[in-house]
Amino acid sequence: MFIGKSEFYERYTTGCLLGKGGNGQVYAGYRNIDHFPVAIKVVSKKRLVEGSINHKNVRVPIEVALLHKSRHVKGVIKLMEYTELPDCFVIIMERKVNSIKDDCKDLYDFITDQHRANGCVNEELAKKIFKQVVQTVIDLEKLNVLHGDIKDENILIDTQTNDIKLIDFGAGNKLFEEKSYHTYHGTRVYAPPEWIKHKSYTASGLNVWSLGVLLYDLITGDIPFKDDNATMAAKLSFPNHAIISDGAKDLIRSCLNLSVQSRINLTDILNHPWFGNHPWFGLSNEVYSDTKHQGIETLPSDCETKFQENSKSLSQQPKYTGKSQITSLAKPFNGPSSVTSLVILESQIETMVMHSCHKQPFFKKLLKLLTLPITFLLSGIRSGCIVSDMV
């Protein structure tokens, strides 16, 4: 892990500057013995912590300590070695090589390129990327590691596999679940409103808020709040040119809630219906209604209980609850009860198919094909009901 200054110069060659920020400068480099690509980061001696690494008491930059602690987390860049020079520390990490095909880039450049080429980041791709980031943050929480600066520039993505790596732990800290932090070293536009207003925040509050900003950025191509006043107001709006699903909007709103207590829990994010765990979130705007719903006893009790638990922390409109979603199908229709009943019946069939086979795509497609004649039949009957009532 630790190597002397002479060993560092013998083992590695430092190349061009890759980037610099508030936490140091990063250079491209390689290991001399096999030309293995590495990233060489030079950091100051400002934020040092004392601890034990490989059974040795050390005084190192907090980034080294956090990288060492999270060395087994899949979504975190790997620390290889570090050394101390008279006026700085040098951290050697694995480097995802920017090949001629440009297979690796930070998420900021990836989002920019996607929006230039396609107008947006496809939501299915956004789900895959965001899910990895959230899982990485959850894994770090279990190790009591707070990254402290979750943003697009601190995430590397392999454009061939869409796998991500979280980098730059220079703004990080040890995670205390109940502690309020009074110093913030991350990026201002990703900071939660409680920090802007009260100079105080919790680890979970920061993580969820930053993830909400990241998801908004991933889907729309821009951050939701440009200055402190906008952050403290937290008036969320979505660009008219972007086609964004109700599920994505709801998850973003749930993360970017002004109230820390009402913000969605980190562990509940992956259970959010946007990820496909609950089929009724895929409904079009024409069928979905934001009006207050009355529940009906149609869902299996285990599914209903699970969804209600997950939805306790969801916040702001539109709110989705386990019972109310199927009822909402009937809301846009002002026709007779026969039409409403048919709509509900169709939705129940769809829910049954999706809920039963959501982990087996092949069987889901097969079952949907088999139920297609029933759906057409119900549609025909419903149309007949509507015509007869009009007459």
260 to 119, 194, 264, 339: CA distances (angstroms): 33, 8, 9, 43
Predicted pLDDT of residue 310: 38
**Spatial distance between the Cα atoms of 385 and 336, rounded to a whole number of angstroms:** 8
Judge if pTM exceeds 0.95. no
CA distances from 189 to 116, 214, 242, 323 (A): 23, 10, 22, 37
For the ranges 57-66, 135-144, 273-282, the lowest mean pLDDT is seen at 273-282
Shared domain check, 108 and 70:
no
Query: Are 152 and 9 within one domain?
Result: no
Catalytic positions are 149
Are both 35 and 162 inside the same structural domain?
no
In a domain? residue 317:
no
Of 38, 60, 94, the position where a domain reaches its end is 94
Q: What is the tens place of the pLDDT at every residue in 27-80? A: 999 999 999 999 999 999 989 999 888 888 999 999 999 999 999 999 999 999
Whole-number pLDDT of residue 265: 97
Strand 88-94 to strand 56-61: parallel, antiparallel, or no bridges (unpaired)? unpaired
The whole-number pLDDT of residue 76 equals: 98
Indicate if 84 and 23 belong to the same structural domain. Answer: yes
Amino acid identity for residue 49 in this structure: V
- Tell me which of 365 and 217 has the higher pLDDT: 217
Residue 359 in domain? yes
- Average pLDDT over the chain, rounded to an integer: 78
Q: Which two tokens stand for residue 354?
A: 């999706």
Percent of the chain with pLDDT over 70: 69
Q: Are 118 and 88 contained in the same domain?
A: no
Non-local CB neighbours of 292 within 8 Å, separated by 6+ positions? none
- Tally: H helices and E strands in the chain: 13, 12
pLDDT on residue 381: 46
- pLDDT tops 90 at residue 281: no
Q: Looking at residue 370, what is its pLDDT?
A: 61
SS3 of 248, please? helix
Task: Read off the pLDDT band of 283 (50, 70, 90).
Answer: very low
145 and 171 fall within a common domain? yes
Residue 289 lies in a domain: no
In this structure, what token pair is assigned to residue 137?
């943050």
* Mean predicted confidence (pLDDT) in 373-389: 43
| Domain span including residue 339 | 301-306+325-390
Q: Are 84 and 131 in the same domain?
A: no
CATH number of the domain bearing residue 135: 1.10.510.10
Where does a domain end: 36, 60, 94?
Answer: 94
147 and 85 fall within a common domain: no
* Predicted pLDDT of residue 365: 52
Contact 191, 169 (CB under 8 A): no
User: How far apart, in whole angstroms, are the C-alpha atoms of residue 89 and residue 67?
Assistant: 14
6 contact partners, CB below 8 Å, separation of at least 6: none
Residue recorded with tokens 């390129």? 113
- Domain count along the chain: 3
d(CA 243, CA 237): 13
Q: Sorting pLDDT into bands at 50, 70 and 90, what band is 358? A: very low
